[in-house]
Amino acid sequence: MKFVDEVELVLVSGKGGAGCSSFRREKYVPLGGPDGGDGGDGGSVVLRADPQLGTLLDLRQRRVLRAENGRPGQGARKNGRRGEDLPLRLPVGTLVLEAETGDVLADLAEPGQEVVLLPGGRGGRGNVHFATSTNRAPRYAQPGLPGVERRVRLELKLLADVGLLGFPNAGKSTLVSRISAARPKIADYPFTTLVPNLGVVTWAEEKAFVVADIPGLVEGAHEGVGLGIRFLKHVERTRLLLHLIDPVDGRDPLEKYDALRRELEAFDPALAARPERVVITKLDLTEARDRLPGLREAFGWRGVEVRAISAATGEGLAELVRETGRQVEELKAGGQDGFDEDRDDG
């Protein structure tokens, strides 16, 4: 399935139906009074967070979505029918932004969450409501109020507990495939991963965390280089970051770590303060194993925890999963939600 994480469209709530101006006319009731019914309210635009959805693809070709208008009132005090709401099902993790200003209108962060984004216009009252002792035959009825039209931008930010960061070919996709049921595309060339991959990792009885392989991080990613901020923004909601570093690709591991840190800082300084660990990969290679003691010492001087694994042989994976699971539980218990609700995500 094609991954789509940003869509812009126009949403319109329904117009309220007009009230009716009519009078009771029956053969044996010569002085029948006003009997115009009320118009029905317009339908609202209602957002629903659906955990079964993982993409905005279904909305990609839809430019304008409208709720139903309310029906007008009728004689004999018959009220018009209310317009049907427009239920818009969106993936969990979708931000709804004002297209022009970037203001956050809704944040669907919880499964099953429901938000009335645009209320429908109120139906007009019929002339039966305007009869008085001095005006017993009012010919006025209210028109329905208009609906609300708004151009919005939908942005999907994946909800994962753990984000995997690393330069191309660091082993992120391989790790996800080994510790979860996810089966991402894996190959030995840059940008194999073109969409974020999510995997559910079970680490204890009835305990699990969600891990996301975040692609496209290279120097300048925060400015759009490589796959750019299109995927870097998915890191914002994670609780814990794992920096995967290949120690044998010819580039200094500390330099790569610093480069990733600079990209996080430039994109959002709050990300640089997120709990993190460094994971040295490819421990099955002799050169990587030989370099490990020196790397532990070098990162230790910076106060950074280092773990070492081989996704190929499975060495170190069980320990990494258990430690990661325990840390995620601690962060949850401490109220670390992975993002600042007071921060402007737009």
Cα separation, 260 vs 339, whole angstroms? 19
pTM metric for this prediction = 0.65
Measured in whole angstroms, the distance separating CA 104 from the mean position of its chain's CA atoms is: 12
Both 268 and 174 in one domain: the answer is yes
Domain that holds residue 32: 1-156
Q: Is the confidence at residue 338, as pLDDT, over 90?
A: no
Tokens, residue 78: 């018959």
pLDDT in tens, 237-272: 788 999 999 998 888 999 989 988 888 888 778 777
Please measure the distance between the N-terminal and C-terminal CA atoms of the chain and give it in whole angstroms. 27
Q: Same domain for 125 and 172?
A: no
Same domain, 78 and 214: no
Nearest to 209 by CA among 243, 257, 159: 159
Q: Is 203 part of any domain? A: yes
pLDDT tens readout for residues 31-44: 678 999 999 999 99
238 and 214 share a domain?
Answer: yes
Kindly state whether residues 144 and 174 are assigned to the same domain.
no
Do 103 and 203 lie in one domain? The reply is: no
Alpha carbons 175 and 314: distance in angstroms, whole number: 9
pLDDT score at 310: 92
Q: Which residue has the higher pLDDT, 339 or 262?
A: 262
Domain of residue 121, CATH code:
2.70.210.12
Whether 2 and 63 map to the same domain: the answer is yes
Residue 226 identity (one-letter amino acid):
G
pLDDT of residue 196: 67
Tokens of 93: 């993790």
What is the count of structural domains for the chain? 2
Confidence label for 273 from pLDDT (cuts 50, 70 and 90): confident
Q: Are residues 280 and 317 in the same domain?
A: yes
The CATH number that applies at residue 248 is: 3.40.50.300
Residue 345 lies in a domain: no
Same domain? 85 vs 190: no
Percent of the chain with pLDDT over 70: 84
Residue 67 and residue 61: Cα distance in Å, rounded?
Answer: 18
Is 52 within a domain? Answer: yes
Contacts of 162 (CB under 8 A, 6+ apart): 201, 209, 210, 211, 212, 238, 239, 240, 241, 242, 324, 328
Q: Is 206 left (phi over 0), alpha (psi -120 to 50) or beta?
A: left
Judged against a pLDDT cut of 60, whether residue 218 lies above it is answered with no
Per-residue pLDDT of 159-191, as tens digits, reads 778 988 888 777 788 888 888 865 555 444 444
Same domain as 127, residue 270: no
Tell me: do 233 and 274 sit in the same domain. Answer: yes
- The pairing of beta strand 207-213 with beta strand 162-165: parallel
**pLDDT score for 293:** 94
Average pLDDT, the chain: 83
227 with 293, same domain: the answer is: yes
Distance between CA 109 and CA 95 in Å, rounded? 8
Residue 23 β-bridge partners: 34
Count of CB atoms situated within 10 Å of the CB of 6: 14
**In this prediction, what percent of the chain has a pLDDT beyond 90?**
43
- Amino acid in the structure at residue 134: T
In a domain, residue 167? The reply is yes
pLDDT greater than 90 at residue 4 = no
Q: Is residue 346 part of a domain?
A: no
